[in-house]
Chains A and B, each alone.
Chain A
Amino acid sequence: MKVAAHEPPKGSSVTVYIMGKAHEVPAEATIMGAIEYAGQQIIRGAGCREGYCGACGTIYRLQGDYRIRTGLACTTLVEDGMTLAQFPFVPAEKAVYDIEKLQPNVSAIQQTYPVVFRCVACNTCTKSCPQGIQVMDYVQAAKRGDIAAVKDLSFYCVSCGLCMLRCPAEITQPLVATLAKRLYGRHLRKESPELAERVQAVEAGAFDAEYAEMMAMSHEALSERYYARDVE
């Protein structure tokens, strides 16, 4: 099999610079794996290790490239010559608000995160997002009070904080996204009449007998019944 020039063969190593010091690490390591391979213990800045929790935001540069690059340490692979730094968290002040007292409109943004209106549309946040989210587009949607659009555009945000670290207007984007999701959930989501009906039935005791029967079953019998259930 022909191996492309930029893919080192299995078993080879690359040099990365962790906190300024050179380390030889396996070429197939993630940044997080490389840091631990180099003998450092990660106390902060690691969580699920699977790209979901956003705790391991990392910035790095590659040799010969002027850009500051960003990634999650747990899912980004090392490259030869990578100079990297992790940061434990990004300080950001959460607004205190009563979701019942806010309406899903631009006034809610103005009251809670007025910093949003400092956005100059430079798009640096979007460039920095390891999730590939159009961050600036949702900040702009927040500016015009389109809460549903903020919710949709920011859906895959893991709150790693890289956007707010890079933002020249010092906006706290993930917190704004969280507010929009809460506003949507409280004020704009579709009502679910089926849920209310089912809660009513539960409270009226419609499932009490079935529940009591299952509570009395042995582990084996319960397991058998579980795996034999109808699944769509």
Chain B
Amino acid sequence: MKLAYYPGCTLKNHARNFDDTTVASMARLGVEVRELERWNCCGTVHGLASDNLMQRAAPVTNLIRVKESGAGEFMTGCAMCYNTLKRANQHMRKDAAALATLNDFLSLEETQYAGDVDVFHLLEFLRDRVGFDKLAAAVTKPLKGLRVACYYGCMLVRPREVAFDDSESPAIMENLIAALGATPVPFALKAECCGAYHAVGRPEIVADRTDKIMGSALAHAADIVIVSCPLCAHNLDHKQVEAKKHHPDFHGLPVLYFTQLMAIALGCDDAAQHFELHHVDPRPLLTDRGLA
């Protein structure tokens, strides 16, 4: 199976571990992930003004690129890119006037957009197209005894129109983790915000969120936290320094992308993991569990 793939900018930089483990683990599942030849920034944040069509130019240009690649659907793993692309797509599908205006503005493009591309998140694709039973069957190194807190943040399940699971109590990542042989733990704050871009201007807000979210994971004796968003990863992992500064009794955990656990369980090469990009090095824990 071939699958058009939109990595997003951050996966080419600070989240290369997310990019490489996505490609490597999907290959193990018989899915040839094909990065689009041309793509641009997703638009980063979905603009809430429905009449500011300039903010739709970036996501819709990517949807055009998918069409031009000959695919009718594509997958992305970044929660932020997924949210922006999916919402722009929905806007274009339900607002013919906006679509016409944008196509007119993008007149240089050889391809017109017609709402005819489907956006998938990797988790959704794994559940609905690959199947968690098939994933479980492909596992060569079960993550036995590993207690995993699955963090969704905001972008995967909100707003409801783009959610592929329950917005308040999603379980898709827990089901995926169980298929890999690990133990998902209850996690009260799994769909709470990580503080997002406040990391720049109001770091104390992020410090507080990181402290609370990690505390919730630790309360259920989690070994690690997994995420699907580079910004969540940054705030929960790299901002542990800030959390410790503001909350002296703070205790942290390693933070991994869910694809990194997939790559381990499916026996992919460690070169895809880029553990050097992590703030809290997950290697001691993984070595201790015989997983690295």
Q: Report the minimum CB–CB distance from A221 to chain B (whole Å).
A: 57
A106 to B39, CA, bound (A): 17
- Assess whether B57 is in contact with A105, with CB atoms less than 8 Å apart: no
Q: Which of B12, B57, B108 contacts A145 (CB 8 A)?
A: B12
B108 surroundings in chain A (CB, below 8 A): 123, 126-127
Q: Indicate with 1 or 0, residue by residue over B1-38, a CB within 8 angstroms of chain A CB atoms.
A: 00000000110110000000000000000000000001
- Assess whether B12 is in contact with A120, with CB atoms less than 8 Å apart: no
Q: Is B197 an interface residue (CB 8 A)?
A: no
- Assess whether B9 is in contact with A121, with CB atoms less than 8 Å apart: no
**For residue B106, which residue of chain A has the nearest CB?**
A123
Q: Report the minimum CB–CB distance from A149 to chain B (whole Å).
A: 10
Given known A-B contacts A120-B43, A127-B108, A168-B54, A143 and B61 have beta carbons under 8 A apart: no
B55 surroundings in chain A (CB, below 8 A): 120
Q: Is B111 an interface residue (CB 8 A)?
A: no
Q: Is B41 an interface residue (CB 8 A)?
A: yes
Q: Indicate with 1 or 0, residue by residue over B51-90, a CB within 8 angstroms of chain A CB atoms.
A: 0001101100100000000000000000000000000000
Q: Which of A105, A106, A123, A127 contacts B61 (CB 8 A)?
A: A123
B109 surroundings in chain A (CB, below 8 A): 123
**For residue A123, which residue of chain B has the nearest CB?**
B108
A168 to B105, CA, bound (A): 14
Q: Is B40 an interface residue (CB 8 A)?
A: yes
A56 to B108, CA, bound (A): 24
Q: Indicate with 1 or 0, residue by residue over A73-87, a CB within 8 angstroms of chain B CB atoms.
A: 000000000000000
A122 surroundings in chain B (CB, below 8 A): 54, 57, 105
B13 surroundings in chain A (CB, below 8 A): 105-106, 144-145
- Assess whether A121 is in contact with B57, with CB atoms less than 8 Å apart: yes
Give residues of chain A (104-141) contacting chain B, Cβ–Cβ below 8 Å: 105-106, 119-123, 126-127, 136-137, 140
- Assess whether B41 is in contact with A143, with CB atoms less than 8 Å apart: yes
A146 to B11, CA, bound (A): 12
Q: Which of A121, A123, A126 contacts B41 (CB 8 A)?
A: A121
A210 to B109, CA, bound (A): 59
A106 to B41, CA, bound (A): 14
Q: Report the minimum CB–CB distance from B76 to chain A (whole Å).
A: 14
Q: Indicate with 1 or 0, residue by residue over A152-168, a CB within 8 angstroms of chain B CB atoms.
A: 00000000000000001
**For residue A106, which residue of chain B has the nearest CB?**
B13
A137 surroundings in chain B (CB, below 8 A): 38, 40
Given known A-B contacts A123-B106, A127-B108, A140 and B41 have beta carbons under 8 A apart: yes
A106 to B9, CA, bound (A): 10
**For residue A169, which residue of chain B has the nearest CB?**
B54
- Assess whether B54 is in contact with A120, with CB atoms less than 8 Å apart: yes
Interface of A with B (CB < 8 Å)?
Answer: 105-106, 119-123, 126-127, 136-137, 140, 143-146, 168
